[in-house]
């Protein structure tokens, strides 16, 4: 390898690193949209936040409620394409059931859109396949 070749390939590596960083930054809003499952689990199980476990079964919770459906079972039915429905359930369940007792977490600003995305990301980790 000639010295000039080495310099060339190093130059390219720098260029590709730059391109990679550019795409990582460009993709950040997508990650944000995808939600943070770890945060979501905390929100879902914390009384002062989502407190989903007051009404729903979620794994690894001491005496979860059973007023609402078991969310592990419910999530088996949702495909990724139906993610927006899961979001809507949490944002405002009245769209599906006008008489629901589930709080409208989005409409009433109990949770931010980001927190709802986080919870949904967590719920999708409960899918077994
Ligand atoms: C006060 C009780 C209550 C709380 C708190 C609650 N839910 Fe619900 N949820 C329900 C009930 C009851 C249903 C069944 C549908 C209905 O009756 O409207 C339901 C339905 C759902 C569904 C649809 C399930 C299906 O079978 O398709 C999802 C998803 C859901 N809840 C997620 C959540 C999440 C996530 C939280 C926390 C952020 C939460 N719920 C908090 C009562 C509650």
20 and 81 together in one domain = no
Q: Is the CB of 46 under 6 A from ligand 1?
A: no
25 and 52 together in one domain = no
Query: Per-residue pLDDT for 49 more than 60?
Result: yes
Query: Per-residue pLDDT for 106 more than 90?
Result: yes
Give residue-wise pLDDT tens across range 66-100.
Answer: 999 999 999 999 999 999 999 999 999 999 999 99
Q: Is the CB of 3 under 6 A from ligand 1?
A: no
CA-wise closest residue to 116 among 89, 81, 77, 79: 89
Residue 102 lies in a domain: yes
Distance CA 102, CA 86 (A): 13
Give residue-wise pLDDT tens across range 12-21.
Answer: 777 667 666 6
30 and 49 together in one domain = no
Written as six digits, the tokens of 70 are: 């078991």
Q: What torsion, rounded to 10 degrees, do the Cα atoms 46, 47, 51, 57 define?
A: 80
- Ligand 1 site-directed mutation target among 49, 56, 76, most atoms within 8 Å of CB: 56
3 and 43 together in one domain = no
Per the structure, the count of domains in the chain is 2
Residue 129 lies in a domain: no
Q: Domain of 99?
A: 35-124
21 and 65 together in one domain = no
Residue 28: what pLDDT? 57
Which atom of ligand 1 is the closest one to the Cα of 119? 35
29 and 40 together in one domain = no
62 and 111 together in one domain = yes
pTM of the complete model: 0.81
Provide the angle, in degrees to the nearest 10, between the axes of the packed helices 113-124 and 83-91.
Answer: 130
Q: Report CA(32)–ligand 1 centroid distance (Å).
A: 23
């Amino acid at each position: 390898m000639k010295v000039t070749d080495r310099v060339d390939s190093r130059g390219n590596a720098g260029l590709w690193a730059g391109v990679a960083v550019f795409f990582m930054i460009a993709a950040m809003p997508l990650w944000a949209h995808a939600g943070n499952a770890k945060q979501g689990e905390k929100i879902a199980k914390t009384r002062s936040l989502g407190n989903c476990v007051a009404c729903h079964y979620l794994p690894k919770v001491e005496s979860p409620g059973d007023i609402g459906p078991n969310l592990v079972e419910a999530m088996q039915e949702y495909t990724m394409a139906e993610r927006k429905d899961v979001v809507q359930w949490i944002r405002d369940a009245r769209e599906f059931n006008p008489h629901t007792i589930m709080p409208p977490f989005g409409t009433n600003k109990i949770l931010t859109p980001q927190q709802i995305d986080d919870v949904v990301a967590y719920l999708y980790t409960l899918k077994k396949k």
